[in-house]
Structure 1
Amino acid sequence: MLLISPSKAQVKIANSIRERRLQMDLTQEGLSDRSGVPLATLRKFEQKGIISLESLLKLLMIVGGLREIVNTLKPAKSQFATIDDVLSENKHVERKRGRKK
């Protein structure tokens, strides 16, 4: 479990997007034009981390990271296919005891 508040996460995400933008040698205006996100929205995002999900996804399409975000949010595959698999898993537990002296 990650111990970070949502507001801190927003700021970290905004800083990461800003760093990616700078690595691509893009100005805020350039990223705004390419992504379709209004310049005022982009500036507010980079300063405060506040942005809509749709605008964030548009920015990620340009600076990269959209595929990673989508893949990260996929649910993990369960190792069990049925409830019987779960129940049989618990039956195979071997108990061990220490030796008496």
Structure 2
Amino acid sequence: MLFVSLSKVQKKLVDNIRERRLQMELTQEGLAERSGVPLPTLRKFEQKGLISLESFLKLLSVVGGLEEMVDILKPKKQNFKSIDDVLKSEEKPIKKRGSRR
């Protein structure tokens, strides 16, 4: 699925969480209680799509999808184009550091 903008992605995430909640026959109050996310935070999320990462992960832990989220964000394995690429990859990996900005 290709999304055009971040707002569309945000709306789709909200819709998916809400749909999972409804499939589980949970009210907003029930999901808030089970997840530990305050009810006003859950309501704001379902209305405006705004939520902290911690609260989002708490919701996923109840409605499902937390493990899939972790798996999907794993770094991709290298695709080799030649035997030289394979041999180079067997050398000691170079440590990478982020910039200090």
Range into which the TM-score falls when normalised by the shorter chain = 0.7 to 0.9
Secondary structure of residue in 2 paired with 1:17: helix
Change (3 A) 1:46 1:75: same
Backbone CA RMSD of aligned residues:
2.0
Task: List structure 1 segments (4+ residues) > 2 angstroms apart after TM superposition.
Answer: 1-4
Structure 2: 5+ residue stretches without partners: 89-101
Query: Do the aligned partners of residues 3 and 29 (structure 1) sit closer, same or farther apart at CA in structure 2, a change above 3 Å counting?
Result: closer
- CA shift, 1:27, in A, is 0.3
**Residue in 1 that maps onto 2:92:** none
Task: Tell me, yes or no, if structure 1 residue 39 matches structure 2 residue 43.
Answer: no
Letter in 2 for 1:53: L
| Displacement after TM superposition at 1:19 (Å) | 0.3
How far apart are residue 70 of structure 1 and its match?
0.7
Number of aligned positions between the proteins: 85
Query: For residue 19 of structure 2, what is the aligned residue in structure 1?
Result: 19
Structure 1 length normalisation: TM-score?
0.76
In structure 1, the partner of 2:54 is 54
Change (3 A) 1:59 1:77: same
The percentage of counterpart residues that share the same residue type is 70
**What do residues 31-72 of structure 1 show as CA deviations (whole Å, max 9, x unaligned)?**
000000000010010111111110000000000000111101
Structure 1 residues without counterparts, runs of 5 or longer: 89-101
* Larger Rg computed on CA atoms: 1
Q: What is the identity, as a one-letter code, of the residue corresponding to 1:12? A: K
CA deviations on 1:50-97 (whole Å, 9 max, x unpaired) are 1111000000000000011110111110134xxx417x9xxxxxxxxx
Q: 1:11 to 1:39 in 2, by over 3 A?
A: same
> What letter is aligned with 2:24?
M
Counterparts of 2:71 and 2:7, CA distance in 1: 23
